[in-house]
């Protein structure tokens, strides 16, 4: 199944959970794309120890997930 997620949030926890969900779907052999819009485009600046967005985004792209901004 092809799945597209659109993130338009500045809440770091929402972005973190979206990346976690996308990675879980990739493990289930789904075709997943994430489109970042608005404040979500700057997810790299929101990275922290509590919410490791860079780590999740790297795992997502290395698992052949498509990330668009």
Per-residue model confidence as pLDDT tens for the chain (69 residues): 899 999 999 999 999 999 999 999 999 988 999 999 999 999 999 999 999 999 999 999 999 999 999
Tell the residue number behind the tokens 């789904």, with chain if given: 30
**Which structure tokens are listed for 27?**
């493990």
**Which structure tokens are listed for 35?**
């489109």
Domain residue ranges in the chain: 2-68
CA–CA gap between residue 9 and residue 52 (Å, rounded): 16
Give the pLDDT score at 50. Answer: 96
Sort residue 7 into left (φ over 0), alpha (ψ -120 to 50) or beta.
beta
Give the pLDDT score at 1. Answer: 86
Q: Do 33 and 65 form a contact (C-beta atoms < 8 A)?
A: yes
Give the pLDDT score at 30. Answer: 87
Please count the residues of the chain. 69
Looking at residue 21, what DSSP letter applies? H
Give the pLDDT score at 31. Answer: 94
């Amino acid at each position: 199944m092809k799945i597209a997620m659109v993130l338009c949030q500045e809440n770091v926890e929402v972005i973190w959970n979206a990346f976690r969900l996308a990675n879980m779907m990739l493990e289930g052999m789904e075709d997943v794309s994430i489109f970042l819009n608005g404040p979500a485009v700057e997810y790299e600046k929101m990275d922290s120890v509590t919410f490791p967005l860079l780590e999740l985004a790297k795992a997502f792209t290395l698992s052949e997930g498509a990330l668009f901004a």
